[in-house]
Structure 1
Amino acid sequence: MNLFDQLPCAVLHTDDDGKIIQMNAELLRILGPASPVRPGALMDQLLPPASRIFLQTHVWPMLLREGAAREIYLHLRAGDATRIPVMVNASRGSDGAHPGYTWVLFVARERSLFEADLIKARNRAEAGTRALEVNDHFTHAIADLSGRALAFLDLSTHCHFSNARFAALLGDHRANLEHGAWPALIEPGSRAIHKAALEQALTGAAPSSAALTVALAGRPAWSVRYLSSRSKAGILDGCFLVEQRHIATL
């Protein structure tokens, strides 16, 4: 048994053209008895098409330029046509009789499984993002079709959602709402009553049946009610601002 066969990892030695000069026992074991690849064959025959292309376009140029390549991720093609993920180190050298390149291969199934899990997780995240985008589009479309101004205010009365009618009623005030709480936009004369109604909605109390007039500087007046919002778990998470009737039209 030569030194190659005593090594606990797969090793092969090729000449400068990629022809296999030696393969050790561990590499033959990994490939399986059905593999036809033996010394004298080209190294390309060990690889499936994608790895073969990467070998020719990236690995060989690196070896010719630098004399070594480290931690290259490839796949072997076993005798039963299964793909075996491997990490490859290669360097210029000699097996004692033939100059060329020595290749050391480490089976990397755990890395392959980890990468597969990452890809699945990424695909799930992308699918979730697409679903949220569709849901957001649907929600805005339904809200716009309602014909009423609608908005969602969080527990600090900042707006997280509004429809086109709400934006039209606010006009230039919409930009101010992005940086501040809703009550700050309302004119001082009616701000207190809106704050009280908001506090009632944000504590989960039964809403008042009376609609409140919204007066914004330079804009037509309109009326609104505040309705409590709860999450699926029943936790109070904000309130909806719902237009009740048009006091004036735009």
Structure 2
Amino acid sequence: MEDVFNQVPCLIFSVSEEGTLLSINEAACNHLGYVKQELEGKKAETIFTLPTRIFQETHLFPLLKMQGKAEEIYITLLTKGGEYLPVLVNATQKKSNNHTVTFYAGIVVHNRKK
């Protein structure tokens, strides 16, 4: 399954309720300019822009608590080089062993404004 996780052409990553990146696939790493070891175990704010972090706290997380999922959410991620990467994501939250994990799957949408 790990091979599938790293072969899909979309960005997949998971974040703990404490804000730690738990896992991230190769496509996400490639788009962001990192290798996996630079991100896993680090704070998610490494890749989340400030507007995205605010949006998550005020809109995304409450929506996930109410509905268990969120679809077609536009966020921006921060590349290693400091550039904004526009991404359209679906997200879910799951509880496991009294911990909440947020799972993201997304695609890059450079031409979203067309």
TM-score range, shorter chain: 0.7 to 0.9
Look up the equivalent residue of 2:74 and give its one-letter code: Y
Q: How does 1:210-249 map to 2 (within 5 A)?
A: none
Question: For 1:113-162, what per-residue CA distance to the aligned partner results, in whole angstroms no more than 9, with x for missing partners?
Answer: x3xxxxxxxxxxxxxxxxxxxxxxxxxxxxxxxxxxxxxxxxxxxxxxxx
Q: Per residue, is there more strand in 1 or in 2?
A: 2
Aligned to 2:103: 102
User: Counterparts in 2 of 1:62-141, with a 5 A limit?
Assistant: 62-93=63-94, 100-112=101-113, 114=114
| Alignment RMSD (CA, Å) | 2.5
Give me the TM-score of the superposition, normalised by structure 2.
0.82
TM-score by length of 1: 0.40
The aligned amino acid for 2:110 is R
- Quote how far apart the aligned CAs of 1:61 are: 1.3
**Which structure is richer in relative contact order (CA contacts within 8 A, separation 6 or more)?**
2
Distance in 2 (CA, whole Å) between partners of 1:101 and 1:55 is: 11
Residues 39 and 91 of structure 1: CA distance in aligned 2, closer, same or farther (over 3 Å): same
Where structure 1 has 5 or more consecutive residues not aligned to the other structure, the ranges are 115-250
Matched pairs, number: 110
Q: Is the 8 A contact 1:35 1:78 kept in 2?
A: no
Q: Give 1 or 2: higher helix fraction.
A: 1
Contact 2:15 2:101 in 1 (8 A): yes
2:17 paired residue number? 16
Q: Structure 1, residues 160-190: CA drift from partner, whole Å, max 9, x if none?
A: xxxxxxxxxxxxxxxxxxxxxxxxxxxxxxx
Whether the 8 Å contact between 2:25 and 2:36 is mirrored in structure 1 is no
Choose 1 or 2 for highest CA Rg: 1
**Cα separation, 1, equivalents of 2:36 and 2:101:** 23
Return 5+ residue gaps in structure 2 as ranges.
none
Pick closer, same or farther for the CA change 1:31–1:93 going to 2, 3 Å: same
Shift of 1:42: 2.7
State whether residues 34 and 79 of structure 1, in contact with CA within 8 Å, keep that contact through their aligned partners in structure 2. Answer: no
Instruction: Using the aligned pairs only, state the percent identity.
Output: 28
Matches within 5 A, 1:50-61: 50-61=51-62
Q: Which runs of 4+ in 1 moved over 6 A?
A: none
| Contact 1:13-1:21 within 8 A present in 2 as well | yes
